[in-house]
Amino acid sequence: MARRIDVTPFYSKFMNPHTYDDLSVEEIATGKFHLANPIYITDKFQEHNRQALMEILMEDFKIFKSNDYVIKPHKAVIQEANEYLKYSNEFYGWFSNGYKKKVGSVVSFKTIYKLYSQSEYFANLTKADKRKHN
């Protein structure tokens, strides 16, 4: 069973022996791929180490509690999410390029829609997409 961690900059893949053997020498040399240890998914290992997991979770909960119960993701996670949204949602890309967050500044939806409907991006949409965005 392959396990994957997709958090930048610690991108890594944990792979079963069959998949790991199919990797090229260059891929293995990157250090992004590791042979998975099947002992970690056994009931015996999980039973023996469940208290260790609880201790790790409790330490993280203390941090969560000290942040007034607000999850603060790592900057790399936020940046990766913004990049994903920018390239998967055209409106988000248009909006993030056109507006920068300013403390105390408020922009109404009416103003945003007016500028959006007058933009070059909106003009190039198909009629069906324009209806969808109305």
Query: What is residue 93's predicted lDDT score, i.e. its pLDDT?
Result: 77
Residue range 5-63, pLDDT digits in tens: 444 344 445 666 667 778 888 888 887 777 777 787 789 988 888 888 888 889 888 98
Predicted local confidence at residue 3, as pLDDT: 45
Shared domain for 89 and 128, answered yes or no, is yes
pLDDT of 53 reads 80
The residue range of the domain holding 50 is 44-72
Total domains in the chain come to: 3
Name the 3-class secondary structure at 72.
coil
> What pLDDT score does 15 carry?
63
Same domain, 127 and 88: yes
Q: Concatenate the DSSP letters of all residues of 9-53 into one string.
A: TS-EEEE-HHHHHTS-HHHHHTT-EEE--GGGGSHHHHHHHHHHH
Do residues 63 and 99 share a domain? no
- Considering the domain architecture, whether residues 67 and 82 belong to the same structural domain is answered as no
Q: How much is the pLDDT for 67?
A: 87
- Model pTM? 0.41
Mark whether 63 and 51 lie in a shared domain: yes
Tell whether 31 and 5 lie within a shared domain: yes
